[in-house]
Structure 1
Amino acid sequence: MAGGKTRRRARRRKPGGLILHVNSGLSPEKKLLVRGGIILALVATVIAVFWFDREGLKDNLDDHISFSDILYFTAVTITTVGYGDIVPVTDTARLIDAFAVTPIRIFIWFIFLGTAYEFVVQKIVEDFRMSRIQQNLRDHVVLCGFGHSAMIAAREMIAKGHPDDAVVAIDVSEERVRAAADAGFIGLLGDATSEELLTLACVEKAKAVLVNTRRDDTNILVILTVRHLSSSTRIVASIRDEENIKLARLSGADLVVTPTRIGGYLLADAVASQHATPFLCDLMSAGGHMVMTERPAGPEDIGRTMAHVSSGVVVHVHSNGREIPFIDRERYVIREGDRLLMICPSSRHKPEPG
């Protein structure tokens, strides 16, 4: 977000989806300068037209058309004041006013009205809308980078029960932000490394921030910025190069995912096994027959070994900083405060009673 200057523009795409355009490319000062230049060029065009056709104009005061009269007549014509002291009297002058000057006059008024709306009325409305959105954003998930992987992650979260209006997608590509809004999410168009943009996304109140831009160095900068804004928000980062994993963790990422490593494992399993890779993919998907879940140990689990938990297969236990592997399932007794990583039947595929 260059210079820390932003312009916000909201547009409803469908129920639940919202695009918030942040940093439209030109600062307000540059926009005003460009539009002022266009207006000056149009006014100069009208002055030139009237000057070269000054014989078709009549000054009712002194019957003489000077250059100052042309400037005056241009001003009153464009502003539609029309005092009547200078008037077109020939057919050519009237046709020029009707078919050349009138469209320019209308276009100039459109620029004035559009500028007033964009910089005054729309800003008031959208600032109010933004404040309402920020008030409702809590325990949401922020996706920094909304590529194909992030879209899949968002769909999986929704399938697992996360509300779609509590997902904020940030990307520099307007096409990807539109895709997020079409999916029912809140889309922010801008650079995810911007502290101001991340503040708009309320990362300090977020349940988690998923960092998945196209470059590792950008991901690390996003991690640093998010961690600067919030010391408690969970950060999950996607890192492509192995050498950057440690740097991402040192930057503040709570968990680092390496897509290339995961993809390599799945490819290797596919060589020796026909069914292992499809099962693992099914296990990771919310729509699969089996799902991987993590939950705290309940009263019914405490005092039992991992093997005797009845609600599913406990494959791993996190216990007060210790990691209990599956190989200890017959020996380890679950304690209060443990977190269980389990494989359970998906609710979509559970057989109905009777």
Structure 2
Amino acid sequence: MAKLEPGGREGVLSLVSLPRISLSPFKELARRTALALLILMLNTFIVWLDRDAYIDNTAGDGVQLLDALYYSTVTMTTTGYGDITPVAAHARLMNVLVVTPLRIGFLVLLVGTTIEVLTKEGSRSIADLFWRRKMRNHVVVIGYGTKGRSAVNTLRRQGESPEKILVIDQHASAVADANFDGLAAFQGDATRRELLRRAEISKAKQVIISLDRDDTAILTTLTVRQLNPTAGVVVAVREHENVPLVRQSGASSVVTSSETVGRLLGLSALGPELGTIMQDMLTGAEGLEVHQRLAEPHEAGQPPSAVQGERVIGIIRNGTLRRFYDQTAARVEIGDELIVVRRAQPPVRDAKHILGAFDPDS
């Protein structure tokens, strides 16, 4: 569904862009304009071809090509000045059988386009309202570049519903990509409070900030944290020296992209297999992946090594991470969250999310 206006413009109401496959509005408008001109030219040709059956009551000099175009224009628009009229019986019959249906088609095309535009804008506003009312405990991803898209893919592989993921990006192409991937999206500047409010940022459970500039990421983190003091805010930065600033801005977790890539390069240089294993766990598309889940009741009381089909590398208990070598993590307890390495699960893509699960017209 096409968006109305970028959320970053002053005084413009930003509406959510929901997944839907549709024609470009400019192509559709051009198609309808061409069809209207074709109807007008066809009517002009019919009148000019039978020009001897018409009379010009004003000039009295016959009907020329320009007169035929003039007659067709006032006829198609139902203006009807009456200065040029058909006088022959067959010309009047032609007007009844051919020209009148063309006139009706022209009016339906003209009025229908206007009504459709108004209807679409109204339906977008209604869809935006219903979307905002039901959006709770969702994940907001700010920046849908390579990092943001990878984060979303990881969330979906971990079982997060696409209906609970919202994208914010300044670029129209990124919003279109998010819609194609089955995600709702806003286009605009994420440092603007109004846009974040319309994205229901205050009700989000997680916010992922993956922008290209560290200074923008810091400002966005400050704005997000002011609007939502409790959500988890994960921020990606390029430079390590900016990590303290991001943490002071309110980030729950900070990932240094350049340092992470550099470490992976170093490990790959030490041993290609080591680099392969690390990249394997980071990508999660095949091979191995890292997963976090609640402990099952039958696992309570057992050592982490007894968990079947997975390797426990950490336990989160009472909000504290205990690594596998920690003596306090010798037994799994009810309520623990386990961080495990397991075989990567194949991605599950539901076609309805791509073809328009959010589309109110579908």
User: TM-score range, shorter-chain basis?
Assistant: 0.5 to 0.7
- Cα separation, partners in 2 of 1:338 and 1:8, compared to 1, 3 Å: closer
Change (3 A) 1:154 1:347: closer
Question: In the superposition, relative to structure 1, how do residues 330 and 263 fare at CA in structure 2: closer, same or farther (>3 Å)?
Answer: same
Q: Tell me the residue number matched to 1:3.
A: 10
Q: 1:331 to 1:12 in 2, by over 3 A?
A: closer
For 1:347 and 1:80, locate their aligned partners in 2 and report how far apart those are by CA, in whole Å.
Answer: 65
The answer to whether the 8 Å contact 1:160/1:286 transfers is no
Counterpart AA for 2:224 = V
Point out where structure 2 has 5 or more consecutive residues left out of the alignment. Answer: 1-7, 24-57, 59-73, 85-105, 348-362
Structure 2 CA distance for partners of 1:315 and 1:172, relative to 1, 3 Å? same
Give the corresponding residue for 1:206: 204
Change (3 A) 1:303 1:9: closer
Cα distance, 1:5 vs structure 2: 2.6
Partner Cα distance (1:268, 1:282) in 2: 16
Question: Partners of 2:17 and 2:309 in 1: how far apart?
Answer: 46
Aligned CA distance change for structure 1 residues 333 and 217 (closer, same or farther; 3 Å): same
- Equivalent runs, 1:43-192 vs 2, <5 Å: 121-192=119-190
3-state DSSP class of the match of 2:20? strand
| CA distance in structure 2 between the aligned counterparts of 1:200 and 1:125, rounded to whole angstroms | 17
Deviations 1:138-184 (A, max 9, x none): 33322111111211222232233322333222111111111111222
Are 1:307 and 1:329, in contact at CA under 8 Å, matched by a contact in 2? Answer: no
Match of 2:192 in 1: 194
Q: Calculate percent identity across the aligned residue pairs.
A: 28
Moved more, 330-339 or 311-320: 330-339
Shift, 1:224, TM fit:
1.9
Residue 11 of structure 1 deviates from its aligned partner by 7.2
Q: What is the one-letter code of the residue matched to 2:226?
A: H
Match of 1:267 among 256, 260, 265: 265
Deviation by residue 1:268-314 (Cα, 9 ceiling, x = unmatched): 10111120111112122332222212223443333333334445222
Deviates further, 241-250 or 288-297: 288-297
1:326 and 2:324 equivalent? Answer: yes
Match in the other structure for 2:304: 306
| Alpha-carbon distance in structure 1 between the residues aligned to 2:252 and 2:17 | 32
1:142 is paired with a residue whose SS is: strand
Cα offset, 1:336, TM superposition: 4.3
Residue 13 (structure 1) aligned with residue 20 (structure 2): yes
- Show the 5 A alignment for 1:258-297: 258-297=256-295
**d(CA) in 1 for partners of 2:211, 2:237:** 9
The answer on whether the counterparts of 2:16 and 2:186 sit within 8 Å (CA) in structure 1 is: no
Shift of 1:115: 8.5
In structure 1, runs of 5+ residues without a counterpart are 20-57, 59-75, 89-105, 350-354
For residue 117 of structure 1, report the CA deviation from its aligned partner: 7.5
Opposite residue 310 of structure 2, the aligned amino acid is G
Does the CA-based 8 Å contact 1:8-1:123 persist in structure 2? no
Query: For residues 322 and 141 of structure 1, do their structure 2 counterparts lie closer, same or farther at Cα, with a shift above 3 Å needed?
Result: closer
- Contact preservation (8 Å) 1:317, 1:325: yes
Q: 1:188 to 1:331 in 2, by over 3 A?
A: closer
Shift of 1:324: 2.8
Equivalent-residue separation in structure 1 for 2:170 and 2:329 (angstroms) = 51
Q: Is the alpha carbon distance of 1:309 and 1:165 closer, same or farther for their aligned partners in structure 2, counting shifts above 3 Å?
A: closer
The alignment of Structure 1 onto Structure 2 pairs a total of residues equal to: 271
Q: Distance in 2 between matches of 1:136 and 1:327?
A: 43
Query: Quick one: distance in 2 between partners of 1:161 and 1:304?
Result: 26
Contact 2:14–2:186 at 8 Å: present in 1 too? no
**CA RMSD for the aligned pairs?**
3.7
Mapped contact 1:306–1:314 kept (Cα < 8 A): yes
- Name the counterpart of 1:227: 225
Q: Distance in 1 between matches of 2:341 and 2:16?
A: 45
- CA–CA distance in structure 2, aligned partners of residues 218 and 12 of structure 1: 27
Taking structure 2 as the reference length, the TM-score comes to 0.63
Partner AA of 1:229 in structure 2? L
Residues 321 and 348 from structure 1, CA distance in 2 versus in 1: closer, same or farther, beyond 3 angstroms? closer
- Relative contact order (alpha carbons < 8 A, sep ≥ 6): 1 or 2 greater? 2
Partner of 1:215: 213
